[in-house]
Structure 1
Amino acid sequence: MKTLTLLRHAKSSWDDSVARDFDRPLNAKGQRAAATMGRHMKSLGLAFDHVVASPARRVTETIDHVVAGYGETLAPDWDRRIYLASAATLLDIVRDLPDTHDRVLVVGHNPGLEDLVLLLVPDRTGDALRDGIEEKYPTASLAELTLETDRWADFAADAATLSRFVRPRDLDAALGPDQ
């Protein structure tokens, strides 16, 4: 079985006057959300044998804060293709993963991550997890997909099962939308 975990970067700061979107840092709420998600990942016993991530600053900072909560190092392979990637590009990246890895974490951006989940997971009536993602995939949210296969190349439309979707506000109401 292959397990694909998708983590959207935490909330970034629009107050920082950076020249490029790529260089936008996290804001304080995003830092707290990422650390909270890291603690939650640890409490669930999530483990990864491979991590691949966008090199954008808000992703690198998300990973740093997740690690602070998770308590273990995540040493990602930085892949520029993930920066603002479409679902199709992300699926290509997933399908090219070495089959020696069984539990992979991808850290990136929306709308690509959300669209990838909606592509891979069949739309079934009453699927509250998928419906939640279709409604919104907030910053610092985590989705876990599984597929009964030994090959990453087998990931295809409507082939995966969504086993988990966790938003920061599910863990701490203060990390939800600003009122």
Structure 2
Amino acid sequence: MKTLYMVRHAKSSWEHDVIDHQRPLKKRGEEDATLVSEKVKSEIVAPEKIISSDATRALTTALYFKEALNVGVDNFITNHDLYDFGGENVMQIINGLDDNWEKVMIVGHNHAFTSIANMLGNKYIDNLPTCGFVMIEFDAEKWENVKRGTTVKTIFPRDLK
């Protein structure tokens, strides 16, 4: 069985004069990342790997989860291909994961993450909100074979406030 944890980056700030890739989190994003990562910590088995988009807002969000879940630096990776909004690159990453990993967390962006959560999971999500968490389990031995799984859990910031 394979388990995919997906986290959309927390709320980012548009107040800085930087390119999209370098936008930081705003204060609310930092607060939500703390809130959701702590809740997730209490409800899941930690992933063997966390793979994050290298965009500042996603990477910063991923670091909150890395800390909360006590994932070591050797099991924390960035991948520029997760800076994807359509989902094709994200699916290639998922299907190319090492089959020795049973539980993997990816941190990235919409619209890709909402689309993939709906494509792979069995629970419709209208819009994966910022800092939203989705857990999908697959009855598969190989990541390349994950097609349709079971959406086991969603944790959204609005549900924790």
TM-score using structure 2 length:
0.92
Are 1:147 and 2:145 matched, yes or no? no
- Measure how far apart 1:167 and its partner are: 0.4
- Measure how far apart 1:58 and its partner are: 0.4
- Contact kept, 8 Å, 2:66 with 2:72, in 1: the verdict is yes
Q: Deviations over 1:69-110 (max 9, x none)?
A: x16235421110110242222111111001000000000000
Helix, strand or coil: the match of 1:35? helix
Greater CA drift, 72-81 or 135-144: 72-81
User: Where does residue 161 of structure 1 map in the other structure?
Assistant: 150
CA distance in 2, matches of 1:165, 1:31: 19
Q: Measured at CA, do residues 74 and 25 of structure 1 come closer, stay the same or move farther in structure 2, by a change above 3 Å?
A: farther
- Contact kept, 8 Å, 1:51 with 1:74, in 2: the verdict is no
- Contact kept, 8 Å, 1:52 with 1:78, in 2: the verdict is yes
Q: Percent identity?
A: 28
- Residue 159 of structure 2 is aligned with which of 164, 167, 170? 170
Q: Measured at CA, do residues 74 and 28 of structure 1 come closer, stay the same or move farther in structure 2, by a change above 3 Å?
A: farther
CA distance in 1, matches of 2:8, 2:92: 18
User: Where does residue 138 of structure 1 map in the other structure?
Assistant: 129
Q: After TM superposition, what 4+ stretches of structure 1 lie above 6 angstroms from structure 2?
A: none
* Aligned partner letter, 2:8: R
How many residue pairs end up in the alignment?
Answer: 159
Helix, strand or coil: the match of 1:44? coil
Structure 2, unmatched stretches of 5+, are: none
Structure 1, unmatched stretches of 5+, are: 123-129, 173-179
* Aligned partner letter, 1:164: K
Q: Deviations over 1:93-142 (max 9, x none)?
A: 111001000000000000001111111134xxxxxxx23x1x22100000
Helix, strand or coil: the match of 1:100? coil
CA distance in 2, matches of 1:92, 1:9: 19
User: Where does residue 83 of structure 1 map in the other structure?
Assistant: 83
CA distance in 2, matches of 1:144, 1:39: 15
CA RMSD of aligned residues (A): 1.5
Q: Deviations over 1:16-72 (max 9, x none)?
A: 121x1000000000000001111111111431011111000001211233345x162
* Aligned partner letter, 1:153: E
